[in-house]
Structures are given as C-alpha cells and as structure tokens.
Structure 1
Amino acid sequence: MRRYAAAEPVADVRSKSAHDRWQEAVKIRQEWLDHGLSTQPADRRTVEHSLTAIYARISRPKPRFEWVDSPYKAIPLVAGLPTLDQLYGWIRDPHPRGTPPLAGDLAMIESQLRGALSAGVSHSDPELSPVRRGKRGEPWPELPPPKALDAGVPLGVVLHQGIRTALHRSLAHGFRIPIRGTLPGGGPLPACWYGQQDAAWVAYYDALHRLGLASYGPDELEHLGHWAALVRSCGWWWPGEDVCVVVDRPEMIRTEPVPGTWHDEVRLRRGGVRYRDGWHPLLA
C-alpha cells in the first residue's frame, strides 16, 4: 500500500485530455473512499508518528495516546476539551482569557496548509472561492462529468465537484454526521478530527498533484503526508495538551448508493456500522 501518495511525482500530462484526467481522477477518488470506509484495524505506529509530527508543528511535545474502540468510549475521556464554538471564540474580539487551546492551533496549521496547497494549483482553485461563468458570475452547473466537460465546465471545477464535494457528501453527510448525532451528551461535543473520514480535502489535493495540476513544496508535501497517513490509518481523534484520544476504525461498515448522484456517493445503511467494542449505533 502506498504510504504517502501525496508525495509521488506528478504525471506527465502534456498529451492527456480533460476526459483522460477525469478517468484517472475517478480511480484516485475510489482509493480515498476505500480508506474512508476501511474496517482494517488502525495502524497505531503510523498514527502516533504522524500525530507527534503534527503536534511538533505547533511546538507541542509528543502526547500520551489513549486508544479506544469507538467514539462512544471516547466521550468520557474528552470531557472538558473545547467545542467548535469555543474555538471560534478565539478568532473573535474580545478573545477569552487564558491560553488558546491546542485544538485551535491545530485548526490554524491545517487551514494554513490548505491555503499553501491551493497556492500550488495551476488553475483557479474552487476550494478558495467559487469559480463562476459568464458576465453574470453564475455558478457552473453540476452535471455528469463527461457532459460537464463537453459543455465547457472547466476541469478544475469538475474535479472539485467530483472529488472534494463528492467525498465530503459520502464521508461527512453519509457517515460521520449521522454517527456523531447518536453520541450521548445532549450538548455540543468537543471538537475533533475524523481520521479516515477526513479524506475529502486530502484526496482533492493529492489528486491534483498526481494529475499534474498542482505543484507543492517539500514542506507542504511532508505536512500533507502526515494528514494523509491519518486518513489511511485511524478513526476519529481528539487532541489534548497531554493526551490525544484516538478511535480505532470500525469492524463493520455497510453502505448504499445515494440515489440521483453520479459521483459514486454513498451513505450508511440503517444499522450499517459496528465498532470493535460492539457499539452499534442505530441511525434514524
């Protein structure tokens, strides 16, 4: 298995048409969807190595890693960690008193990485701002990719729709949001990252690089490689100053196609996930 696909040399694309590149992109998207739905046990050594490297980027020492078999088991261990609303409070005025939480620093360097990767894209990156058409600035339509390309939709827009947006629909709306909604607590849960279900943005920038449509510097490739390793290797994780709580991947995932889509989008079936401790959330 390729460990750092994002660091592979870009392809020679001088003779490739937009349709050829799209066909390659479909294969790359499937690779990342497979990671997003993997039921293999977590690669704990790789996860701890990459999380330690990411912590080091915000000048934090290696944490102690607390592994659990399901998000349900993680909830008692992450009490007191900041919620997403609390993290947003640190970018508003006036700031809360005290030291900014570690999760906020992680979110900042992740955002900076995405900005640096977008800067290396050879076309106007829809990830930064919507790409419009015509004098009225209308959004490009979402069409089946071959028809979209034949209709003049830019390849960059088709790739963003067909990789970034499609994987987000499958892994966020189709998986992590429903599962998160079954967790106990009633109020907002602490902010976390989703490991394998964070594949959408990683896959998007990896695909652009492998298709020869983006060029990244060595530091960006190394940093992206660590986030890619987490997607390939573990489930959800909650970062704390001293302890990082990491969830193993489920032992069973069953999905079904989302009707009316053309990017192989999927969603969990009812009762379609079971974790290694037996937690079997019932979805609405």
Structure 2
Amino acid sequence: MPIRQAWFDVGVSDQPADRAAAEAAIARSYQRLGRARPHFHWVESPRQALPLLAGRPGHAVLRRWISHRPPAGEPPFVSDVAAGLSRLRGALDAAADHADLSALPRNTTKKDKEKRPELATLEPEAALDIGYPLREVLRHGVREALTTSLAAALAWPVRRELGVPDQVPVGWYGQQDAPWIAYYDTLRRLGLAVYRPADEAVFDDWVLLARSTGWWWPDETVCVLSDRPARVVTEKGRVRAVTFRDGWSPPLM
C-alpha cells in the first residue's frame, strides 16, 4: 500500500525536526484546551528528556484520572490531552461510515467466512477477493501493520529503556504515532470518510506533529520535545536499530 509506505517513511525519518511547525501545532492544541502557549524545550533524545520530566504523571496515574471515578483535585494537563485525543478518534471512527467499508461480496455465506484464511496471511487484494470487509483490510493493512513495524519495533522498546512503562512520564510519539494517523488519513484519501471541519482541523495538527517531530511531553506551562533520530536502520520493513542525536542507541530487541 503506497499510503502505508509513505507513513512508514514518516515513522523512521531521520531528518531534523521542523521545530516551528511542531510548536505551532502544539500551541493550537493548548489553545483549544483553554491554555496559553507553553514554553518549548527541545532535547536530542527521549533519554535526554527524562531529567526535565521529573514529577510528571506516568500512565498508571493517567489511567486513574480518565477512569469513571477519578481522584479528587485538579487533573494533570496530560489527562486533558488524552481525553481530547480519545474524543477525536471516536469522531473519526463515527465519520467512517461509507457503505463500501462494510460491504461483502453478494454471495458470501457464513460458511465462506469460516473457511477464510487468516487475514494476516493475505495481501489486501486477496483478502478483499475472498470476502473480508474493506474496513478490516484497511485496519489490518495500515494501522496494525504499522503498529508492528513502528510502535512494537521502535517506540515501545525505546520507552521500555526509559524505565518502568507505567511510571515513564506520559507523552506522545510524534512520528511514531503514524499507525493510527495513517489509518484515518487513508480513509480520508480514499474518500471513505468525510470528517467534520472542527475534527479535521484537530486531526491535521496530529498529522503535522507526526511529520515534524519526535516524541513530545506536554504539561501546563512547558512542553518538552525530542528531535527525530539521527539514524534509523530498517530491513524488510522493520526497524532494526536507532541512534538519536545525542548518540543514544537503545536496544530494540
């Protein structure tokens, strides 16, 4: 899939961050949440960011704040960002209502479905030919494929090297947020979803962040951002090694 390949290339880009574009997108996100433009602090790798993130909430804390019974007190800013992202993705899913996404070949029977090979073993065209709905094919061929080749092979191992996963300060992956962004971008490009203008504006800022920066960690007044890697080694569509601009090269296996 050409669109998937284009987004994989975004996820492994070793070009310097477009700092102006990233800062502008984040400033708009803060504005939507009723906050002033933050101070931006750039670093050369996620590891270099850690000392600047001391005291910020990890994922375990975030889960408590977005649960049905959040703690008392003022929620951390990242919970607002996470809630906004959740609302956005719900809106984009709701807009993906084109009939072709769920259509099956006219003569497909329940028995036919039970005999189908696993979707993971098929090329997209073959999956459609034997009766998989287009929505499933795109979800697997774009979002799940990029999750395997970018998130599981690069972002998650790097986060693991930063500390205990639930305790690592909450942030977003920038270019390695490509898996979910690519899926909704594919729906839009193929004319299978028409997003509301307000949702599209928010989505376009996430697209811009993926195309312009590495990881980023927002809080009320300071947003820390990491530049993109200096070198990413890939082989057959999988990431094998990464080196950041400060020389940090965490193991990925």
Q: What's the TM-score, normalizing by structure 1? A: 0.80
Local SS of the residue matching 2:151: helix
- What is the aligned-residue identity percentage? 48
Among 238, 245, 248, the residue aligned to 1:267: 238
Match of 1:277 in 2: 246
Give the conservation status (yes or no) of the 8 Å contact 2:153–2:238. Answer: yes
Deviation (angstroms), 1:97: 2.3
**1:151-207 CA distances to partner (integer Å, 9 max, x unpaired)?**
011112111110111111111101111111222579721111000000111111111
Residue 177 of structure 2, aligned match among 198, 219, 230: 198
Following TM superposition, by how much is the alpha carbon of 1:134 offset from its aligned partner in structure 2, in angstroms?
A: 3.9
- SS of aligned partner of 1:181: helix
Quick one: distance in 2 between partners of 1:283 and 1:199? 18
Note closer, same or farther for the CA distance 1:33–1:93 as it changes in structure 2 (3 Å cut).
Answer: closer
CA contact (8 A) 1:173 1:267 kept: no
1:29-44 maps to which residues of 2 (within 5 A)? 29-44=4-19
Partner amino acid, structure 2, of 1:273? V
Count residues with an aligned counterpart.
242
The whole-number CA distance in structure 2 between the counterparts of 1:148 and 1:186 is: 36
The question of whether the paired residues in 1 share the 8 Å contact of 2:59 and 2:165 is answered with no
**Going by fraction, where is helix more abundant, 1 or 2?**
2
Q: Is 1:216 equivalent to 2:191 in the alignment? A: no
1:237 corresponds, among 210, 216, 220, to 216
1:80-99: CA deviation from partner (whole Å, max 9, x where unpaired): 11111111111335422210
Partner of 2:29: 54
Instruction: Give me the whole-angstrom Cα distance separating, in 1, the residues matched to 2:165 and 2:135.
Output: 41
Q: Structure 2: which amino acid aligns with 1:267?
A: R
Q: 1:186 & 1:219 partners in 2: Cα distance?
A: 33
Match of 2:41 in 1: 66
Give the counterpart of 1:176 among 148, 155, 176: 155
SS of the residue corresponding to residue 166 of structure 1 reads helix
Aligned to 2:105: none
**CA distance in structure 1 between the partners assigned to 2:126 and 2:249 by the alignment:** 41
SS at match of 2:161: coil
1 CA distance for matches of 2:110 and 2:11? 36
TM-align CA RMSD: 2.2
Identify unmatched segments of 5+ residues in structure 2: 103-108
Q: Secondary structure at the match of 2:40?
A: strand
- What is the 5 A alignment of 1:104-183? 104-123=79-98, 134=110, 141-142=118-119, 143-183=122-162
Instruction: Calculate the TM-score normalised by the size of structure 2.
Output: 0.89
**Alpha carbons 2:43, 2:227 under 8 Å: kept:** yes
